Amino acid sequence: MAVWNPWHGCKKYSPGCANCYVYRRDHQFDRDSSRVTKTASFSLPLQKTRQGGYRLTPQDAPVYACMTSDFFLEEADPWRPQAWAMIRSRPDLEFIIITKRIHRFSVGLPLDWGEGYPNVTIVCTCENQQTADQRLPVLLSLPIRRREVIHEPMLEEIQILPYLKSGEIARVTCGGESGRGARLCRYDWILSTRRQCIECGVAFSFHQTGAWFEKDGRTYQIPRSQQLRQAEKAALEYRPSLLPDSEKQREDLFLRLSKSSFRSRFSLSPSMKQYVSEKGEEVIQRHAQDFVGTRLAPAQPEHDGKQTPMKGHPVFLAQHATGTCCRGCLEKWYQIPKGRPLTEWEQDRIVDILMDWIHRQMK
């Protein structure tokens, strides 16, 4: 990763800013963090080496912008159009912009922004429930291709399930607060957000514990050097499955399946097609929901690997044709790990895939 700070300095804005690391660092050098200034790195995305190549290359990506300020800070309004222009001119780089000021996103937005530049991820910081309820509706209303959320410093348990269910948030990251005066972060808060993410199939990361961390009723003071390490040891990282959630993703899936000699050999016989026609779509879908819920969804399905017959019902054929016949195939084709129950969202997406395959066979 690389860091690009086109300007430095910020104004404390919300509870998460109380112990800002930029203020702590600047204080060591007797520097006024509230004074916002352009930096020597302003043009970093366009700067070149002596050999004529760009200093920042795709191997350096992602590029985190404004880590010692806020990209949408009011004082930076005169400079932002030029910053956007540099981002637009480097489509080979992925830029990540973290902000508490999502309400100012549209100020100075490029005329050609459209639905968003494909190389830009906007990450909205929400440190407590109040800021989440204020900022996330705004985040979801804006024309952004990729949205993420950060709870850092996480100051309390935060319920964001309604926002995650929109399907428009790609990742949530949680972390505690470091430095002098750091506030407590509780393990239960982290687990709560992780559960919400898993329920909605949203990626989750636990970044750091912070200086004060409570787990199982005990409070730990964790040295700065161990805060990232301890979060990593918790092994809470969650990657969503490859289950398709859009028409394009569905088409990509069926293209992959068509290249499998085993999966592509399955088809509905005339008698199976007649069965589907006679029973109707609603009945077949209920059968699919029942088969998925009882034979596939449990953490340890009975006779896993052999629970789906090779014939006897159009849904059974659809399961083999789409790699949803057992937990081993789910892991191979959709990266859904064995040993945990399928979420309701995952079950619904699997039923959608099965019904889509049957519809294609009926044409």
Angstrom distance (rounded) from CA 157 to CA 193: 8
Q: Show the tokens assigned to 107.
A: 């100020």
Per-residue pLDDT, 285: 96
Residue 229: partners with Cβ closer than 8 Å, 6 or more residues away: none
Angstrom distance (rounded) from CA 257 to CA 125: 39
Would you say residue 312 lies in a domain? yes
Q: Is the pLDDT of residue 201 over 90?
A: no
- Where b means 16+ CB within 10 Å and e means fewer, 207-216 reads bbbbbbbbbe
Q: Is the pLDDT of residue 157 over 90?
A: yes
Per-residue pLDDT, 241: 72
Would you say residue 240 lies in a domain? no
Residue with tokens 């930076």: 76
Question: Where in the sequence is the domain holding 229, given as residue range(s)?
Answer: 2-233
Express each pLDDT in 58-95 by its tens digit: 999 899 999 999 999 999 999 999 999 999 999 999 99
- Where b means 16+ CB within 10 Å and e means fewer, 266-281 reads bebeeebeeebeeeee
Whether residue 157 is found in the same domain as residue 279: no
Whether residue 273 is found in the same domain as residue 228: no
Q: Is the pLDDT of residue 340 over 90?
A: no
pTM above 0.75, yes or no: no
Per-residue pLDDT, 20: 87
Whether residue 58 is found in the same domain as residue 137: yes
CA 155 to chain CA mean position, Å: 21
Q: Is the pLDDT of residue 245 over 80?
A: no
Residue 67: partners with Cβ closer than 8 Å, 6 or more residues away: 3, 5, 98
Number of domains in the chain: 2
Final residue of a structural domain among 233, 264, 298: 233
Of residues 342, 335, 305, 336, the one with CA closest to residue 320: 305
Mean pLDDT value across residues 285-293: 96
Whether residue 224 is found in the same domain as residue 263: no
Mean pLDDT value across residues 205-209: 96
Final residue of a structural domain among 233, 263, 281: 233
CA angle (201, 140, 20) in 5-degree steps: 90
Would you say residue 238 lies in a domain? no
Angstrom distance (rounded) from CA 289 to CA 350: 9
Mean pLDDT value across residues 121-125: 97
Whether residue 219 is found in the same domain as residue 255: no
Residue with tokens 């929109």: 166
Whether residue 72 is found in the same domain as residue 162: yes
Would you say residue 241 lies in a domain? no
Per-residue pLDDT, 310: 87
Whether residue 163 is found in the same domain as residue 308: no
Express each pLDDT in 290-318 by its tens digit: 999 999 999 999 999 888 898 899 999 99
Would you say residue 242 lies in a domain? no
Whether residue 103 is found in the same domain as residue 196: yes
